[in-house]
Amino acid sequence: MTRGILTALLVLSAGLALAARPNIVWIFSDDHSYQTIGAYGGRLEPLNLSPNIDRIAKEGMRFDRAYVGNSICAPSRATLLTGKHSHMNGKYDNRDAFNHDQQQFQKILQKNGYQTVMVGKIHLNGKMQGFDYWEVLPGQGKYHDPDFITEAGKTHYKGRYVTDVITERALNWLENERDKEKPFMLMVHHKAPHRNWDPADRHMSKFEGIEIPEPANLFDDYSGRETAANLQDMSIDKTMTLKNDLKVEGDRWINNPRYKERAKWFAAHKPEGQELVKWKYQTYMKDYLRTTWAVDESVGAVLKALEEQGLSDNTIVMYSSDQGFYMGEHGWFDKRFMYEESFRTPLVAMWPGKIKPGSVNSDLVQNIDFAETFLELADAPIPSDMQGKSLVPLMKGETPKDWRDSLYYHYYEYPGAHSVRRHEGVFDGRWKLIKFYGVDVPGGAEWELFDLQSDPAEMKSVYSNPENKAQIKRLKKKLNALKKQYQVPAVPTEQKSGKAKRK
Ligand code: CA
């Protein structure tokens, strides 16, 4: 064989290998709780809240133990892009600047022949890097009449609903702008259902007249836990406002066609005490579910577009959220705590011929794993300083024998919005050990221990039970080992302002 023919064959086979690499569609929402996704079951399942996301689970895999490392918006996105915990990517809280110059998975994908696209909410100030095309919301963005920023500048979408614009812009790229010879990574990042849960006009009557089931601990008195749960500022009762959250007070809302009737009803009835909390819960849930309904419609539109363009067979579609959210559990909305509803996040993935339809994975996975997963899917090198592990073997039903047996968590934004004390902890799938520390924590540190097998709602810490001594010793050892593994810097227990003392 001549050298020329050999070279031609090598080029051809390399080309075929590249062509076989899957496209990746990553759909990501903001504050979408697993409790409000039908595939996860639970008290809200009968409401049929997410038929299209459920379809991904039905035709693919549902991850039952997907968690985040720091349950808050922007740090979670920094982890998604870097494959690193907050202390390694520098984005500890929503206020920190994000260093865009650092290593991020999309830069590596791009170097390895992928087209990379980001549309929607990223919540990291500054210009995106490593994307062939990006069109993002400034900061939190707006539900109605949103602005979007691109490399070229700002566009205002008057009269439009944010979820619809994100879908439309993503599909416009898919249908009209992509290079059909190259594989792609398309990131569709929704703003919804972030606070203040302002739905599309067309969804305002959805769930009307329906009683949304309450969680058993809507009126939690926090007696089984230490200071942090007692002194948070994220309760439906005390924190959720009649003005911007429930939209029944203030000119901006009472004159708004979406909320006019609600405001009138409220002014006439003025519920109080427990009745008020129950009304707030119902109203909050319905607005939230209307915004997630639009997200689910978007998922349906993306799946349909992939089918229409003949891309379904060689595309993996994943759906997740930047963290979980409280749907009235513990009397709360918002996130931040290492307690299950915010620590855990939904994750479903479909990949025809590779992921077995209807499969369920219960390994401990975390958002540090996403970047590595995308890189392995693209057959691109995974840098050794990324801190997670690719989920590709798990998706194929081949979990490695040495898969992790515990997760590390660390929340930093205190003092700050919602007054959730700083804490870190370890979770092994059953036992959860949490250390609250720093200013406004009595004695500088408080510990909690939960056995999720006997107390899945985490209502009573069993840290002081003498029979748990050995368990606590084991978990503390595990926590220290994880901190060493992830290179967590020593954190002072005394601090006045979150930022000043962290260094
Ligand atoms: Ca969020």
Contact by Cβ (8 Å): 215, 176: no
Q: Which residue has the tokens 């939190």?
A: 140
Give 16 Cα–ligand 1 centroid separation in angstroms.
Answer: 40
Tell whether 261 and 299 lie within a shared domain.
Answer: no
Tell whether 294 and 264 lie within a shared domain.
Answer: no
Tell whether 110 and 154 lie within a shared domain.
Answer: yes
Tell whether 321 and 465 lie within a shared domain.
Answer: no
Among residues 282, 314, 346, the one where a domain terminates is 282
Tell whether 52 and 121 lie within a shared domain.
Answer: yes
Integer Cα distance of 419 and 499 in angstroms? 15
* CB neighbour class for 284 (10 Å; exposed up to 12, middle 13-18, buried from 19): buried
Among residues 267, 282, 297, the one where a domain terminates is 282
User: Residue 491 falls within a domain, yes or no?
Assistant: no
What is the CATH classification number for the domain harbouring 426? 3.30.1120
Integer Cα distance of 327 and 43 in angstroms? 11
Give 423 Cα–ligand 1 centroid separation in angstroms.
Answer: 18
Confidence of residue 500 (pLDDT cuts 50, 70, 90): very low
Give 340 Cα–ligand 1 centroid separation in angstroms.
Answer: 15
User: Residue 478 falls within a domain, yes or no?
Assistant: yes
Q: What is the pLDDT of residue 4?
A: 64
Integer Cα distance of 13 and 36 in angstroms? 46
Q: What is the pLDDT of residue 264?
A: 98
User: Residue 139 falls within a domain, yes or no?
Assistant: yes
Integer Cα distance of 50 and 40 in angstroms? 10
Confidence of residue 497 (pLDDT cuts 50, 70, 90): very low
Q: What is the pLDDT of residue 490?
A: 84
Q: What is the pLDDT of residue 406?
A: 98
Average pLDDT over residues 108-120: 98
Integer Cα distance of 36 and 395 in angstroms? 23
Query: Which element (helix H / strand E) includes 172?
Result: helix 162-172
User: Tens digits of per-residue pLDDT, 312-325?
Assistant: 999 999 999 999 99
User: Residue 4 falls within a domain, yes or no?
Assistant: no
Tell whether 189 and 323 lie within a shared domain.
Answer: yes
Tell whether 270 and 305 lie within a shared domain.
Answer: no
User: Residue 232 falls within a domain, yes or no?
Assistant: yes
Integer Cα distance of 26 and 319 in angstroms? 6
Angle at 435 between CA 66 and CA 89, to 5 degrees: 55
Average pLDDT over residues 241-262: 97
Give 346 Cα–ligand 1 centroid separation in angstroms.
Answer: 12
* Among the listed residues 71, 404, 58, 12, the one whose alpha carbon sits nearest the alpha carbon of residue 232: 71
Give 251 Cα–ligand 1 centroid separation in angstroms.
Answer: 28
Query: Which element (helix H / strand E) includes 185?
Result: strand 184-189
Confidence of residue 501 (pLDDT cuts 50, 70, 90): very low
Integer Cα distance of 112 and 378 in angstroms? 8
Give 333 Cα–ligand 1 centroid separation in angstroms.
Answer: 12
Contact by Cβ (8 Å): 369, 333: no
Q: Which residue has the tokens 């209307």?
A: 290
Give 36 Cα–ligand 1 centroid separation in angstroms.
Answer: 15
User: Residue 182 falls within a domain, yes or no?
Assistant: yes
User: Tens digits of per-residue pLDDT, 323-375?
Assistant: 999 999 999 999 999 999 999 999 999 999 999 999 999 999 999 999 999 99
Give 469 Cα–ligand 1 centroid separation in angstroms.
Answer: 36
pLDDT at residue 380 greater than cutoff 90: yes
Among residues 349, 371, 401, the one where a domain terminates is 401
Confidence of residue 503 (pLDDT cuts 50, 70, 90): very low
What is the CATH classification number for the domain harbouring 333? 3.40.720.10
What's the one-letter identity of residue 269? H
Give 123 Cα–ligand 1 centroid separation in angstroms.
Answer: 10
Give 234 Cα–ligand 1 centroid separation in angstroms.
Answer: 14
Which residues lie at CB < 5 A from ion ligand 1? 30-31, 73, 322
DSSP tag of 235: B
Give 308 Cα–ligand 1 centroid separation in angstroms.
Answer: 32
Integer Cα distance of 69 and 412 in angstroms? 11
Contact by Cβ (8 Å): 413, 94: yes
Q: In what order do the strands lie in the sheet with 423-427?
A: 407-411, 423-427, 431-437, 445-451
The dihedral of CA 265, 266, 272, 277: what is its sign?
Answer: positive
3-state SS assignment for residue 24: strand
User: Residue 13 falls within a domain, yes or no?
Assistant: no
How are beta strands 407-411 and 365-366 bridged, if at all?
Answer: unpaired
3-state SS assignment for residue 348: strand
> What's the structural domain count of the chain?
3
Higher pLDDT, 503 or 144: 144
Integer Cα distance of 236 and 349 in angstroms? 33
The model's pTM: 0.95
User: Tens digits of per-residue pLDDT, 392-429?
Assistant: 999 999 999 999 999 999 999 999 999 999 999 999 99
Residue 20: CB atoms within 10 Å: 10
Tell whether 219 and 364 lie within a shared domain.
Answer: no
> What range does the domain containing 476 cover?
408-485
> Angle formed by the axes of helices 273-308 and 51-59, to 10°?
60
User: Residue 497 falls within a domain, yes or no?
Assistant: no
Q: What is the pLDDT of residue 12?
A: 56
Integer Cα distance of 218 and 459 in angstroms? 12
Tell whether 311 and 370 lie within a shared domain.
Answer: yes
Give 74 Cα–ligand 1 centroid separation in angstroms.
Answer: 7
Tell whether 51 and 180 lie within a shared domain.
Answer: yes
* Among the listed residues 78, 80, 107, the one whose alpha carbon sits nearest the alpha carbon of residue 95: 78
Tell whether 450 and 325 lie within a shared domain.
Answer: no
Tell whether 143 and 275 lie within a shared domain.
Answer: no
